[in-house]
Structure 1
């Protein structure tokens, strides 16, 4: 991004690791008595999803730019991702409380990126256990300072009080969470979109939250390994599901049909960047890769050049 380089835009999500001494923004004002709930839709019985707009973090959206949801069991609730600021997290909490008074037992983060984790603080007072991939604590610690410093001016006053809340319950490979009459199955994946990708499947309805392993409409953002993402996507596609929730896109999409566009984009990126490496073209020209995909994706200009540069750095040593 030129006005703002793409790696500095918050929704690029892949800010380089930086010092993490400051993990709290300025103190938050007390929560408003009437917090407007995020709009959510019930995509299956007891499963609610906020389908976020295709946008970069800004004052107009308070960082609520990623899909987030919650699952209601007979005893408790699990939240899946929390948006990109304390204010946005509070709006998600308000949406939950508009539908159930059950305790929030778990908050699950599908990966490290700020638009999925910076709303965690809204749920601390609920007594929730925070859950994430085994790599998530280190990934958050490495980026805490960068995330807070970069997002604060973009989101503005609504960012006040936002802080990093890391997971205390880690998923090494697979873990089940019981909400009472409802089990969520969590799977940790090898490095793909990031090094901390986690999926959540509701066994009762066969609804699968894929986090940012699946983008629909919004161009993918590569912050892990291109080859790894292609391999994980291949494994995901081999597993049927009644419906899936992408990290960005509609609230719910059919599976594996919805994987077609991202599969094509990643394959095109790999093919064209490999050709550049083979031809000895400099990394400065990598942003030209996959240009033919531009018409099919929102925010293409903001993310594609960075994706291609990341892919070049990976594939030149392949």
Structure 2
């Protein structure tokens, strides 16, 4: 069932259940610091009505307040959909301020692409930003709510450790009230967004958002550019969804981390090569009887062009070994 945008503006939401030349993007220079203009995050309009804030390619720290992920919003005739809200309530508020510089329309939907705090901890800033001062609808993969609730304490502690007073974590962890089990569509008023829930890959609760009007794909952390990919779900599962991702009818992609937008599907190639390389090396080590600690210590360095290698590469090898030794 789908409801008209006017009904949506009264607080209801339409969700339709669905059945379901190569370019080296690593050559683009990485950003070191997230930027903000006054109280509002800086955004760029990458396609008509599609705005993106490019987060810093860095770990969460006091100076960036958790502003380390790409965030976006899409404007329709009846309202706005927000895609990811940042790593703190302060960043969420700055994103809302950026939206208000573009439009006074209500925020009809907040969509989280997965559970990680740099994408979800700004959710509370959007309370009351919906129609007539109500809350917007909060969308996510059907598995996100439980996963985030279970990890909330750990995430609060880790962000507090990383960011000090700037990152104690929101008092309220806002969980989704609209679960997406397979797929669905949100109509913002002449502007349809297609949501797709994915099998376990980067996490077990990855969700993509495709703006049908402009062919813009918000991929969350299913796609990393510059920032080394991070395995928190299944390396085999992530590689398995790459062909399906590449088939999505998009013109450009907003990665979870990296430039605001890059050509599609060329953006997938460096990530796929990295993940394939890790999987191949780990399988070789397992076949040769190399223990985990030795396999991690001897893991070859990734190709040049990735940032945050020291923070994540050996962690990825550890996660891949723990998964693939049971194949």
Same fold (TM over 0.5): yes
Corresponding residue of 2:140: 132
For the residues of structure 1 that align with 2:319 and 2:196, how far apart are their CA atoms? Answer: 25
For residues 114-144 of structure 1, the C-alpha deviation after alignment (integer angstroms, 9 at most, x for no partner) is 1000110101121111100000011011101
| 2-structure distance, mates of 1:115, 1:287 | 27
Check conservation: 1:184, 1:200, Cα contact below 8 A.
Answer: yes
The answer to whether the 8 Å contact 1:87/1:159 transfers is: no
* Deviation of 1:53 (Å): 1.5
Q: Which residues in structure 2 correspond to 1:102-121 (within 5 Å)? A: 102-121=105-124
Write out aligned runs for 1:60-139 (5 A). 60-126=63-129, 127-139=135-147
* Conservation of the 8 A alpha-carbon contact between 2:43 and 2:54: yes
1:50 and 2:58 aligned:
no
**8 Å contact kept, 1:74–1:179:** yes
Equivalent position SS for 1:295: coil
| Match status 1:142 vs 2:142 | no
Contact 1:286 1:305 in 2 (8 A): no
TM-score for the superposition, normalised by structure 1: 0.87
Out of 206, 212, 221, which is 2:221 matched to?
212
Unaligned 5+ segments in structure 2 are 1-36, 130-134
Which consecutive residues of structure 1, in runs of 5 or more, have no partner in the other structure?
1-33
Q: Deviation at 1:161?
A: 6.3
Q: CA deviation at 1:164?
A: 1.1
Question: Could you tell me how far apart the structure 1 residues matched to 2:258 and 2:146 are?
Answer: 28
| Native 8 Å contact 1:272 1:289 kept in 2 | no
* Alignment match of 2:251 (pick from 239, 242, 247): 242
Ranges of 4+ aligned residues in structure 1 off by more than 4 Å: none
How much does 1:288 deviate? 4.1
CA distance in 2, matches of 1:240, 1:256: 9
Report if aligned partners of 1:86, 1:160 keep a CA contact under 8 Å in 2.
no
Cα deviation, residue 52, structure 1: 1.1
Residue by residue over 1:158-217, the C-alpha shift from the partner in whole angstroms, topping out at 9 and shown as x without a partner, is: 335613110010101011001001010000000000000000000111111011000000
Number of residues paired by the alignment?
285
Instruction: Give distance in 2, aligned partners of 1:116 and 1:290.
Output: 29
Q: Which residue of 2 aligns with 1:20?
A: none
| Contact 2:156 2:168 (8 Å CA) reproduced | no
